Copies of this chain bind each other. A is one copy, B any other.
Amino acid sequence: MKKTGQPTINDVARLSGVSKKTVSRVINQSPLLNQETREKVQAVIAELGYIPNPQARALALRRNFLIALIHDNPNAQMVLRVQQGLLEVLRDTEFELLVHPVDRGAPDMRDEIRRFLERQRPYGVMLLPPISENDALAALCEQIGCRYVRMGSAAFDDPAHMVSSNDREAVRGAIEHLLAAGHRRICMIAGPHGFRSAFERQQGYEEAMEAAGLGVQRTWIAQGDYRFESGMRAAERLLDLSPRPTAIFSSNDEMAAGALHIARQRGLDVPEDLSIVGFDDTSIASHLWPPLTTVRWPIATMARAAALKLIGEEEDDDAEPAEPTMFVSTLIRRASVGKPQP
């Protein structure tokens, strides 16, 4: 009259004729264990389909096996790729993924996150851009005592807590690609003020233009907010310039799509009359007509690296100073770049 629910550790102990202590040793991979005993216990575990209760374990161990993904990201593609990357690593472990989207803009966002962290006390926290740029949040994790990793477009922090892509360099590469095709009047649609990624990408553009001896014209840079509509408005401004630009680099694909939209509205052929380069390589890039030349950053790879950092060895704190984890982005050449008209 007892065996209604799940098997417990006591059942395993009884059936395998050892103490629950020993079962616990098997589960936790204790090294001082007779091989025979281990196998015997494991056989019983398998037979019973015993699975240790994670809550009880968490309580006793005073730690849990939860990784929290905190983000406020408008880009669904990116969030999902991150989730998949994380879970690729977590799948083989006993960790689980807790997602917690937040609302940047909400005035109580920080308190909301604090409540979440204090309640769940996840073992690790993954912060996605753009809120990963918020130093206060990182400090919060530190203070609560969770490991955390920030994903970003540059290493703006102790590298131990970062996985980053080198956006600046990637943009330089993209601009150089345009330059090599013969473009000179290259404009940029920049991202919103206050975003590190926007800043880095703009820096990359400016560096490349300076390096080519073209200088930076303020009027050649129009600002958007990473959304499609803002890309349209920015493109309208840039295409009103005279002489018209022959190429536009956009800080992300959505805005590039907006620019493409406007170009088409004005009867401009892409890439015949105007070349466009985006950034992110979300699915929209390959689905547009023409398919968009863009910069792909290895999101899933970065997420995997982040997961490993989060669940990795109980850092001896002062062990290696943790090599900076910087990932390289690659230019994906599709059909939206051509030679400028003479």
Using a CB–CB cutoff of 8 Å, the interface residues on chain A facing chain B are 6, 49, 51, 53-56, 58-59, 64, 76-77, 79-81, 83-84, 87, 94, 96-101, 115, 118-121, 228, 254, 257-258, 260-261, 264-265, 283-284, 286-289
Contact = CB atoms under 8 A, between A and B. Distances in A.
Given A99-B97, A101-B83, A59 B51 contact: no
A96 B254 CA distance: 31
Given A98-B98, A289-B264, A120 B54 contact: yes
Contacts of A287: 228, 254, 257-258, 261, 284, 288
Contacts of A228: 283, 286-287
Contacts of A118: 6, 49, 51
Contacts of A79: 76, 80
A283 B286 contact: no
Contacts of A55: 55-56, 58-59, 64
A284 B120 CA distance: 36
Contact of A101 (B59, B77, B87): B87
Nearest to A50: B118
Given A76-B283, A94-B119, A261-B287, 5 more contacts: A6-B118, A76-B77, A96-B100, A260-B289, A283-B284
